[in-house]
Structure 1
Amino acid sequence: MRPSPIFFGILAVAVAGGFLAAYGDISKGRDPMLVAGVVLLVLAGWMASLTLHEFGHAFVAFRGGDHDVAHKGYLTLDVRHYADPVLSFVLPLIFLIIGGIPLPGGAVWINRGALRNRATASWVSLAGPLSNLAAGAALCLVVTLVPMATGLYFGLSYLALLQILTFLINILPVPGLDGWGALEPYLSPQARAFGARVRPWAPLALFALLFLFRPVSNLLWTIAEYIYNGLGGDSYAGGLGQALFLFWK
């Protein structure tokens, strides 16, 4: 369970981005140093949160009876051990940069037959999104310690908001997402068979819906902001952080 140097490298990039964002000139609007800092902070921070998301799945599975996850390297926070680096990290990062929507990434293979019971299987699925919710709450707390009207304040605010949105998307009862995984142990064999058939393309269909139909994505953002504000987040700062991150728009 010793963290990988790769994970510490990702955190180092996030810290470097935070440093640039903190010392960028906010009075110049989209100052290159400010924008570069926010982009690095959000990308690396979100990549670290993806790793923690998958670690959450693996850790609960390990405690629940699937000890193979340790041999697969899932408890080392090393992105190289996940199923497909391109689908797990590269593609989600591209979606995030293009549209600001956090596509679920990472993948750990769990031996569900080794888990103790159905409740354990549900908690294995929920552990990932709950780690995002916890990260969002922690970031909201950290933001209160950061000087306002700085790039670091705006970047961390947007990163916190993204964690809440990631939590919401992942708990949707869509085959291939964690919300479905939490329900699946209690579903009929016919429902599980249907989920297995549509699992490869159902998440992509969902994201096409989010990109093409603004009312759907707006609803998710509204719910995310409601939870974010309840955790002490600053919606204005989160929106400004998003504008800096999506500087090309």
Structure 2
Amino acid sequence: MTTASPRADHRISPVFLALVAVMAVSGWAVWTRTIAANTGFAVFLFVVSGWVVSLCLHEYAHARTALHSGDISVGAKGYLTLNPLKYTHALLSIVLPVIFVIMGGIGLPGGAVFIERGRIRGRWRHSLISAVGPLTNVLFAVVCTAPFWLHGLDGVPEPFRYALAFLALLQVTAAILNFVPVPGLDGYGVIEPWLSLKIRRQVEPFAPFGLLAVFGLLWVPEVNHVFFDAVDAILRALGVTDWDAFQGQELFRFWRGEPQVPPLGGTL
């Protein structure tokens, strides 16, 4: 009988590398408008692959922090390979988030790594394990918007600019939703260690329904308005205009008909 070596537990998965390759190639296609007949399809591939890459990094951050906090079991579970197929709930962490992106342009929070909390000592460590996931989305948003807040958009083709803006919007929505202190989301995981045992036991049965409750609230027009006002305000602070994000979403939905964007080296 053989067992996987610790080094194999940490080796980056070919599945993740393939996702990165798709993101790179589709990003190049958007930049050069190689698929001139359908730039929107290239934007779609770039955003979806980028979104799945960010989900993998989100879950990896949870697992890596848990490893350094005492849970050495995460390696054997494959969480450190960045392979989305190794997550305990691939449907919740990968499939459903992608569907929600396609349907509504909302970054659905995932939550698929099983942390053996009994191995971890200290409330701060428990809180940090939960916080690093959405903080990864924050960092991803900062990277995506770097050309905007660094005023480095000269020479950047507009389709690529719009694609980055929409990908950043998804990261911001995911970070905000993940930080909501509702059972089942990372925000609750941050505060849970500081709650009394009685409160935690009372709240525990509602954990499977927390995400559904949050999305149910987003259907309320007033709540939806406040939520997206907050998203737009954060994006504007990062230099992304409402027009950039809107055009990115319109390009992403290539099946609805591609919006007009200026050709390379020219204007409409």
Point out where structure 1 has 5 or more consecutive residues left out of the alignment.
Answer: none
Q: Deviation at 1:237?
A: 1.2
Match of 2:70?
65
- CA gap of 1:214–1:38, structure 2 versus 1, over 3 A, is farther
TM-score when normalising by structure 2: 0.85
Point out where structure 2 has 5 or more consecutive residues left out of the alignment.
Answer: 1-9, 257-268
**AA aligned opposite 1:19:** W
1:189-234 deviation line (CA, Å, top 9, x unaligned): 2321232101111211211221x22332232222122222223334
User: Aligned residue pairs: how many?
Assistant: 244
Counterpart of 1:206 (choices 180, 205, 214) is 214
Aligned mates of 2:254, 2:180 — CA distance in 1: 29
Residue 199 of structure 1: SS of its match in structure 2?
Answer: helix
Once the two structures are overlaid, the 10-residue window that deviates more, 96-105 or 228-237, is 228-237
Aligned mates of 2:144, 2:194 — CA distance in 1: 34
Match of 1:3?
12
Decide whether the 8 Å contact of 2:232 with 2:242 is kept in 1: yes
- CA gap of 1:32–1:192, structure 2 versus 1, over 3 A, is farther
Decide whether the 8 Å contact of 1:51 with 1:79 is kept in 2: yes
Aligned mates of 2:221, 2:47 — CA distance in 1: 23
**AA aligned opposite 2:27:** G
Aligned mates of 1:3, 1:145 — CA distance in 2: 32
Aligned mates of 1:116, 1:32 — CA distance in 2: 56
RMSD: 2.0
Decide whether the 8 Å contact of 1:21 with 1:33 is kept in 2: no
Q: Percent identity?
A: 39
Match of 1:23?
32
Match of 1:195?
203
Aligned mates of 1:77, 1:34 — CA distance in 2: 29
TM-score when normalising by structure 1: 0.91
Decide whether the 8 Å contact of 2:127 with 2:193 is kept in 1: yes
Alignment of 1:82-93 (within 5 A): 82-93=87-98
Alignment of 1:1-249 (within 5 A): 1-24=10-33, 32-142=37-147, 144=152, 147-210=155-218, 212-248=219-255
Q: Deviation at 1:32?
A: 4.8
Tell me which structure has the larger Cα radius of gyration.
2
Aligned mates of 1:104, 1:191 — CA distance in 2: 24
